[in-house]
Structure 1
Amino acid sequence: MASSVQRVTKRPRIWHAWAGSADQLERIGAVVADLVERRKESLVTKYLEDHPAPPDRETEQAQEHSYFPYTTHKAVTDAAIRDIEAACQFRASLTDRTSDEATGDLESIFAEFDRRTYRKIIFYCSFGGHEYVEKEKLLLTMERDTEEPGVRLVVESADPGWAKQASAEISEEVDKGSQRWGIIHSPFGMVGVTFVLWMLLATLIYLLTTLANFDWFIRSILVTIISLIVALGLMLIELTYWWMFPSMQILADGERSSGVRGLGYIALLLLTTVIAVAVNTIK
């Protein structure tokens, strides 16, 4: 008895932060487009293997002008192939900061691409419309200024080999722009950065209120001012955080990732604070 179990292989993956040039981004899109084209060809081949043609009419002593099983099979097969090809269409979607969205092929989307105004770009295949592709899914989302990981990949297929290959090829290209500091966007990373910033603020208050030679009135004023600055900082921390550590960034030629600069600023501030504490302690 034939098994009625239907299996689907899923290969999700995330990258917390990505930075690269527009050319790198376009190469990633080209990899996705090529995978879709190859998947379309393999699905057509599988359909033809599952639905072999009957013998042609010359070998069956059929009527001279028609052979119904053969001609019917050809018409059905041609229609099925058209449906499969129509169901396997690569698309790219570009969303800018005003939430305007443009969808089309790779060339037309990058003709409109502006690295200063983009917010999200998606490479995907609109699988659907035929039973041979209903289990397929390929979606690569690249987004900045988001609490989610900057790059999110979803690959699903009834063919485990293709799912693994698609995930591996896309991952290889995306990895070229993956940022090591992207762990900052993980829950543990955000807690770590917040802890460091709070420690710096606490140290600053300590320096101004304990080590400095101010009377209690001046110290009270300083503490009040610092408290107001901290409150304002908490209101702006989210904007500042995503500005310093974008989840996705398109770089100009020779430009470095903002995350690298952000870590440099924090490290410099931390070093300055440590030196200040050491100097005041020695005094």
Structure 2
Amino acid sequence: MTAPQAPAPRDTDTARPALVELDHVSKYYGNIKALENVSLEVHAGEISCVLGDNGAGKSTLIKIIAGLHRHDAGTFLIEGAETTLANPRDALDRGIATVYQDLAVVPLMPVWRNFFLGSEPTKGAGPFKRLDVQLMRETTRTELLRMGIDLRDVDQPIGTLSGGERQCVAIARAVYFGAKVLVLDEPTAALGVKQSGVVLKYVAAARDAGLGVVLITHSPHHAYLVGDRFVLLKRGVMSGSHTRDSVTLDELTRQMAGGSELEELSHELERAPAPDHLGGRPVGDDTP
């Protein structure tokens, strides 16, 4: 029996500038340092994972990339050109699509309506101008199938889909509307094991379609399954930055869990010997 072969490396052109690059970026809210000297690279056909617990600065990082907040220090580059995004529409126009954890869908509207929400094609002119419903239905079905998503019916309300299916629809939508960079905010946070696997499959499909993906997560196991680069945040500061070939899952998990702090805590929590209140006799022993 021959040994299994390692998967072939993905074709990524490292000579080209990163689609998005943050170089020592900082963000302050008054005297509070939300981010300080954080660096991140996002390349086409790669997944850059940002890991951290609650309060680590992940949300602030997302808002800077998505154009919601401006950075206060450092450099933000898009395809090698220094940039300051004015607003989320500016980010979208430059090919940066962000899928937030709440997805911002209308639960009672059908899947195809949510797929085109805010960008609906029309037909006719003047008083006869109307939504091109047939085009939206057919396009939604085709684009979902292209990503490997086979929904029972694109006319069903999107609220009837599972959390994983809704995430997949959002990913397919971003790909269809020409995103170059896809930012995913904790896409597996509220999902079970099976649904998380489904979502990660489509995250990998977006990568294979040539997008640069930023995966925000608190799960090193999910990150290591698909990630090419890893940035760890702790209280707004980078506590680690690795490429896939420079770190193991065990080491990534150890750093994510706190590393030396966790070891120190384990020593503090070690069970101490029972106190001897009675001159060496076991507690509760009333023998004279």
Report if TM-score (shorter chain) is over 0.5: no
Normalised to the residue count of structure 1, the TM-score between the two structures is 0.23
Select the structure of larger CA radius of gyration: 1
TM-score when scaled to structure 2?
Answer: 0.23
**Which of the two has greater helix per residue?**
1
